[in-house]
Amino acid sequence: MIRIVKRRNPSQAWAWATPILAVLLTMIVGGFMFAALGKDPFEAIRLIFWDPLFSEQFASYSRPQLLVKAGPLILIAIGLSIGFRAGIWNIGAEGQYIMGAICGAAVGLALYPSEARWLVFPLMVLFGGIGGILWAMIPALLKTKFNTNEILVSLLLVYVAEQFLAKMAFGALRNPDGQGFPGSRNLAQWSSSSNPELIAGTGAHWGVVAAIIAVLVAFILMTRHRVGFDIKLMGVAPRAAAFSGVNPNRMVVLCLAISGGLAGLAGLFEVTGPSGQITDSFNQGYGFTAIIVAFLGRLNPIGILLAGLLMGLTFIGGELAQLMIGLPASAIQAFQGMLLFFLLALNLMSDYRIEFGQKEAA
């Protein structure tokens, strides 16, 4: 007889081994999926994980792109992890990412061309964060006032944000000199609103700097500050948190504001840098992929930093595999989804153990 028995204390060994095993299982099962699609699984795995970093043919382009892809994932995942630690499930970071980009870009486009050029980009950053926070406040207020489910509300608001993005790209933010084509002016081409590489050839821009700062601040907050203790206590024992003086409604608002603000900043840094403009296809799913990054990093800021780099690598390698062997984009998305599936499945072993024995007599 096979039984699943709850451990007296969570296994730290399994906690640290789970992400590694999840990656290995994803490679193995993903390889079978690639083979079923008629592609060489070993070549596909090599293109995704090895060639972007170590191939002389591709590395010169792919290495700088690693930070470009990882920056927004890390920034969003840090915000999500704080809420997840408190048991507050913000699944709508993609919508907050979009709204942050729209609000920040709108400020830059409204000031174009401005003589006070030094002021433009800081204002865009400010309003990008505010845009993400305000969008996150919708599920926060509905949760605190009407006890709605923040998972459903935040998720459904993503589709509202996508429709609003299309409306802005075809309407109010459309480039007046664009001969009727959808999309805003290219913010990356105007020095006052651009977010260029800080060190040439590295891909590091202000969004990457913000991601690193967010990692450091989150680490200090969760390990050295009373607020971090309250967040973890609320996630583990909500009743104990209430007895210790933690206001659950304030915690909901705080956690959603942090995650929404960081997602909005990620959108702003993306629209002023790698993307360059507001278009109806601006969003690339970073808000959803960041959920995988947060769990792969064990909701730990340092782990999220490493997980973000790994997930950024799958984005770059996935694009490379599509180009070189014709792998479908949907297969790459399924490959990334497998990572979360195996991570959550193996996470069971941290709190439970499997026992084998004889079936007891009736």
In which band, very low, low, confident or very high, does the pLDDT at 215 lie, cut at 50, 70 and 90? Answer: very high
The pLDDT value given to residue 345 = 86
Q: Are 11 and 350 in contact (CB under 8 A)?
A: yes
Contacts of 133 (CB under 8 A, 6+ apart): 96, 257, 260, 261, 264
Q: Averaged over 343-356, what is the pLDDT?
A: 83
Of 6-20, 133-147, 332-346, where does mean pLDDT reach its minimum?
A: 6-20
Q: The whole model's pTM is what? A: 0.92
What is the DSSP secondary structure assignment for residue 191, as one 8-state letter?
Answer: G
Q: Choose between 195 and 132: higher pLDDT.
A: 132
189 or 120: whose pLDDT is higher?
120
Q: Which residue has the higher pLDDT, 144 or 360?
A: 144
DSSP annotation string for 104-171:
HHHHHHHT-S-S-HHHHHHHHHHHHHHHHHHHHHHHHHHHHHH---HHHHHHHHHHHHHHHHHHHHHT
pLDDT at residue 61 in the model: 80
In angstroms, the CA 184 to CA 105 distance is 9
What pLDDT score does 274 carry? 87
Residue matched to tokens 């959603």: 256
Q: Where are the domains of the chain?
A: 38-327
CATH of 38-327, one of 2.40.170, 1.10.3470, 3.40.50, 1.20.1740: 1.10.3470
The mean pLDDT of 77-105, rounded to a whole number, is 96
* Rounded Cα–Cα distance for residues 77 and 93 (Å): 9
How confident is the model at residue 35, as a pLDDT?
A: 94
Q: pLDDT tens digits for 278-326?
A: 998 888 889 999 999 999 998 999 999 999 999 999 999 999 999 999 9
| Average confidence (pLDDT) over 253-271 | 96
In degrees and rounded to multiples of 5, residue 173 shows phi and psi of -100, 5
Would you state the pLDDT for residue 349? 83
